[in-house]
Structures are given as C-alpha cells and as structure tokens.
Amino acid sequence: MDRILVLPGDGIGPEVTREARRVLEAVAERHGRKLAFEEGLIGGASIDAAGTPLADDVVELARECGAVLLGAVGGPRWDDMPVDTRPEKGLLRIRKELGLFANLRPATVFPALSGASSLRPEVVEGIDMLVVRELTGGIYFGEPRGRALVEGVREARNTMVYDEVEVRRIGRVAFEAARGRRRHVTHVHKANVLEVSQLWMEVVDELAGDYPDVELHHQLVDSCAMLLVREPARFDVIVTGNLFGDILSDEAAMITGSLGMLPSASLGEGGVGLYEPVHGSAPDIAGQDLANPLATILSAAMLLEHSLAAPEAAAEVRDAVSRVLSDGHRTADLILGGDGEALGCRQMGDRVLEALAAS
C-alpha cells in the first residue's frame, strides 16, 4: 500500500488536487496498485485553522508518506501578514523538512497547444526537455552573506558555494532521468569565470563515467539562454545549480505557452518527493470551477514515475492528457482569442478519466 499526502492549500489548490487525485485513483486501479490518501492543511488554510502555515503533525505525516501532492498556497487574505508567518512559509518549510535538493521541471509542448507559445510553431515543435535544478545550495544559501556600510559606502555580498557531494547527488538525478528519456544531459555552467562551475564540470565529468550510455555536453549559461529560444527542441535533460536553474527553468517553461500546463517535482534522498503545479493559487478564479487541472494531473504523473516507480502508469496519464487536448478539449486559459467552448475544472478531469479508460 502506497501512501500519498495531499495538501490542497489555498485558492484553486483544492479544485486541481481533487481532479489529480481522481486520476491517480483510476490509474492505480488499472495497475492493481493500492493507494492510501491522507489529507492535510498548508498555507493560508492552515493559518486559519491552526495559526501556522504548516503544523508539525503535517510535516510528520509527509515524512511517513514520502510522496506529497500539493496544490498551491497564498492569496490576498494573508498578504498583509508578517513575512515570517505568511502562507509561503509553509511551502519553504516542507521543502526544507523533506530535504528536497532536486527540482525537476519538464517543459513539453503538446502538439495541440503549439500555437500557445510565443515562439513560432516550427521552433516549438518537438520540445521535450527536463530542467534539473539544485535547490538547497549555491548562492541563495551560501555564507558569508549580508550588507554593510564600509566607510560610508553601502555594500552587499552573497557567496556561491558548492561541495562535490552536493554536485554529485544532483548530477546523478539528471543522469538517471536521462536514462528514461533521450539519454542526453546538458550541464549548464559559467566555468570561464567561476571556480564553482569548474568544480561542477569536474564532478559531472567524473559522474559521466558511470553513465557511458548517456551523452554529456557542457554549455555556458549565457549561450544556453540564447539556444533555449533559438533551438529549444535540441535539449533533453539540463542540469545546473540553484541560480542558473531558477532563471532557465522559468525560461524553458514559458516557451511552452501555458501556466496551467506546467508540472514540477522536488526530490530528496530515498525517493521522497513533493509534486506540485508551477502556477500559484489563482485567487481571481478560485472556487468557480474555472481552473485548469492539467498541471496538477501532470504533477501526479511525475509522482507515479519518481515516488511510486510506475513509469508506465505515468505515461498513460500523459497520453490521456495529450489525447484530451488533441480532441480539442480546453479549459478557459487554453482558449486563445476566446474562440471555442471552455470546460470547467471538473469537466476537464472527467475528460482525462474517460481518455484513460479508453486507452
């Protein structure tokens, strides 16, 4: 029996996680897997009920389950609270408590949605990449950091630091992921000026020896940013540190077009994982059955793949989503120029379930 903790959160979180859960239940049944779902509070919902954005017993439950499906947190109701007690703190805490050092963001263009990208359709065709970003180290956490007044002049500093253990473990995630894909890893760096990047190069090169079946390229971060908009389909797996990954994963995601379609996974040691859509809680459409649940459904597919070791079930979910889109079904956010009839969140979930059942 596999246990999954669902943390719906705020805004559209409860609507989109409900649909993803239905899809998980259906696909598990097809594969004879038994799933046990737990539910917990996070973000504003937890602040209202328990006075904290994430309670200790929810953290404990997350550790026991090992796989967490999260909706989104935040909303205008809690915007005036002090930074330390706001809904987003719940998200930061659970990532930290679960030791999630690897962030995986696939960027795929479903053929039926190629018109949604800001790039020309012939450039977008065939995009299917995965950005693997180191999440717990690098310049966002390095010491010393801070501000100072030096002889009347304001100064600020941050430190980019990685050790080889951190680089090796994120590198392994990338090489392993590439084995389930097109067997190509691009390591993104700035080794012409940064010693930290030179260490990454060395360690990634050493690691490549364990993966002779995977091709490795090193790419400077500035040229990678250009290639992502010029020739995005050339990339398979991109692996990089926290700072470069933060920027490039947003760039890669946005060339696919729609916020409502982007899933993510954050992984820690031993297969523990947190799966969530890239979008926020969308308070402007919350509670109206207007949200697109596909990013969360695709996040559930990542959960099947990475936490439940069920890649075939994951592929079935992705295929079902692809078929629903090629059959012309759209939620409001996917309708360009306002043409066509929009499905609600629940109806879109129904279509995915039907496509699964028909496969």
Query: Where along the sequence are the contacts to ligand NAD (CB under 6 A)?
Result: 12, 16, 72-75, 88, 91, 259-260, 276, 279-285, 291-292, 295, 333
Residue tagged 């705020």 (tokens): 10
Task: Measure the CA dihedral 192/197/202/207, to 10°.
Answer: -140
Cβ proximity to ligand NAD, 20 vs 72, nearer residue: 72
Tell me the residue length of the chain: 359
Annotated catalytic residue 211: no
Which residue is catalytic, options 140, 289, 319, 350? Answer: 140
Cβ proximity to ligand NAD, 224 vs 334, nearer residue: 334
Cβ proximity to ligand NAD, 4 vs 72, nearer residue: 72
- Closest separation in Å from C-beta 149 to ligand NAD: 32
- Closest separation in Å from C-beta 102 to ligand NAD: 17
Which residue is catalytic, options 246, 289, 319, 350? Answer: 246
Cβ proximity to ligand NAD, 84 vs 143, nearer residue: 84
Query: Please, are residues 209 and 202 in contact by the beta-carbon 8 Å criterion?
Result: no
Residue type, 30: R
- Closest separation in Å from C-beta 120 to ligand NAD: 24
- Closest separation in Å from C-beta 173 to ligand NAD: 21
Which residue is catalytic, options 190, 211, 236, 275? Answer: 190
State how far the Cα of 327 lies from the Cα of 348, in Å rounded to an integer.
12
Which residue is catalytic, options 57, 163, 222, 327? Answer: 222
Annotated catalytic residue 250: yes
- By beta-carbon distance, which residue lies closest to ligand NAD? 280
For residue 8, say if its preceding peptide bond is cis, omega within 30 degrees of 0.
no
Annotated catalytic residue 246: yes
Cβ proximity to ligand NAD, 94 vs 355, nearer residue: 94
Cβ proximity to ligand NAD, 332 vs 355, nearer residue: 332
- Closest separation in Å from C-beta 174 to ligand NAD: 23
- Closest separation in Å from C-beta 298 to ligand NAD: 11
State how far the Cα of 298 lies from the Cα of 317, in Å rounded to an integer.
7
- The tokens for 76 are 């205008």
State how far the Cα of 280 lies from the Cα of 16, in Å rounded to an integer.
11
Residues labelled catalytic: 140, 190, 222, 246, 250
